[in-house]
Structures are given as structure tokens and as C-alpha cells.
Amino acid sequence: MTCPRETVGSTYSYRTVADSGAELGFREVSLDRDLGRLHAWLNSDHVLPYWQQDDPLPQVRDTIRERAADETQTLYVGYRDHVPMSYWESYWAAHDRLADHYDADPGDQGIHLLIGPTEYLGRGYAAPLIRAMVDFQFQHPETTRVVTEPDARNERAIRAFAAAGFERRGEIEFPDKTAQFMVRERETGAADE
């Protein structure tokens, strides 16, 4: 099983329109196109406490290259109205360290995300983006559950995931953080989409 890589229109891997009328889309990360933006976003004050990747550009390049080569995940840049504003890691949870902490199904997919530019924070944009990514992940018939594990201190992210239909399932201790484990079943939240 491989990660979602099918193309749906233009350069986007997946594109949809939110209830607000905003166009949301995701395309795979390209090192040539995205390295500078990802380096800036990962070094942003609002991202550093949770991603802890205050690395110089060459190290970010190596990290992104390594992650992009991992067949168990796919990296995306998320767009709102055709403006790049978020970074996503869509992964098969059974191959992630998270699987050591719950009964992972082979079809479970997970999400890591960050919102880059500060002008997109606190405006209600995250939950529709999360719903769009989950819809994309549920295109795989084997996927009946999407999981996430934001830092337990990141209440803003936890609220956004809850607004997108995820349920809290307890905290998990990782070596680098205490995480809030959250789950969205395929049928959860379907009525509001």
C-alpha cells in the first residue's frame, strides 16, 4: 500500500471548495519550489514550540528530502484560494511511532500539519482544511480512520481537529512531547461536509 499520490486536476493532488466558498487544495511538496517557505514556516515563533525544528536551511532540506523519500508518508503544501499557507504530512499510522500507543489498523492514516503565515492563524481556516485533507485520505477504501497527535499544549490545533470531527482519546507520552491522541472515524462528521 502506498500513500495517496493520484492527481486530481491541475497541479493539485486534491482540490475542493469549503462551505465558505474558499478553494482549498493540496499538492505534493517540491524541494525546489518549497524549501525556502518550509524553512521559514518551521522557524516561525508560533511553530517552533510544537515542531521543534529550528534548523538551518541545509538541515531542513535534508529532513524534507528524507521525509519525502519515505514510502509510508506523503508531504503536501496546503493552499487556500491558491495561496500556499500550510504544510501537511499524511502518513500510514501503522508505520509511525504512534502505532506503539494504540491498536493501529493497516488502513489508518495520520496527519501532521502546520499553518505557516501568521495572517492565517485564528481565522477559522484550519478546520475546513483538516476536513478537506481527511476527505482526501478517505478516498482510500481501506482507510476507515484518520488519527492525529498534536502537542497537548497546542489547544488551538486540538480545537481545530475537534471542529473537523476528531474525538479526543487521551494523552500519549512521547520522548519529545505529551500528545493529545485524536481519532476521526470515516462516518464521523460526514453530515456537516
pLDDT tens sequence across 158-179: 999 999 999 999 999 999 999 9
- pLDDT exceeds cutoff 60 at 8: no
Average pLDDT (117-142) is: 94
In whole angstroms, what is the distance from residue 139 CA to residue 61 CA? 30
Helices (H), 24-175: 31-42, 48-51, 57-69, 126-137, 155-163
- To the nearest whole percent, how much of the chain has pLDDT over 70? 92
Strands (E) across the chain are located at 14-17, 23-28, 73-80, 83-92, 109-115, 145-148, 167-173, 178-185
- Look at residue 139 in the predicted model and tell me its pLDDT: 92
User: At CA 65, angle to CA 105 and CA 114, rounded to 5?
Assistant: 65
Positive or negative, the CA dihedral 118, 120, 123, 126 is negative
Whether the CB-CB separation of 24 and 132 falls below 8 Å is answered with yes
Confidence of residue 188 (pLDDT cuts 50, 70, 90): low
Q: For position 192, what pLDDT does the model report?
A: 40
Q: What domains are there in the chain, each with its CATH number?
A: 14-145 (3.40.630.30)
| Euclidean distance between CA atoms 92 and 109, whole angstroms | 5
Integer Cα distance of 160 and 125 in angstroms? 9
Mean pLDDT, to the nearest integer, of 54-69?
A: 94
pLDDT at 1: 36
pLDDT exceeds 80 at position 55: yes
Give me the mean pLDDT over the 17-24 stretch. 85
Angstrom distances, CA of residue 151 to CA of 10, 25, 128, 142: 34, 25, 20, 27
Cβ burial of 60 (10 Å; 0-12, 13-18, 19+) is: buried
Looking at residue 5, its pLDDT comes to 41
Q: In this predicted structure, what is the pLDDT of residue 187?
A: 79
Is the pLDDT at 190 greater than 50? The verdict is no
Residue 22: pLDDT band (50, 70, 90) is confident
Q: What are phi and psi of 183, to 5 degrees?
A: -135, 140
What pLDDT shows up at residue 20? 82
List the grid coordinates of 49.
Answer: 514550540
What CA–CA distance (Å, rounded) separates 192 from 185? Answer: 14
State the pTM of this model: 0.88
> How much is the average pLDDT of 134-157?
94
- Across residues 47-55, what is the average pLDDT? 89
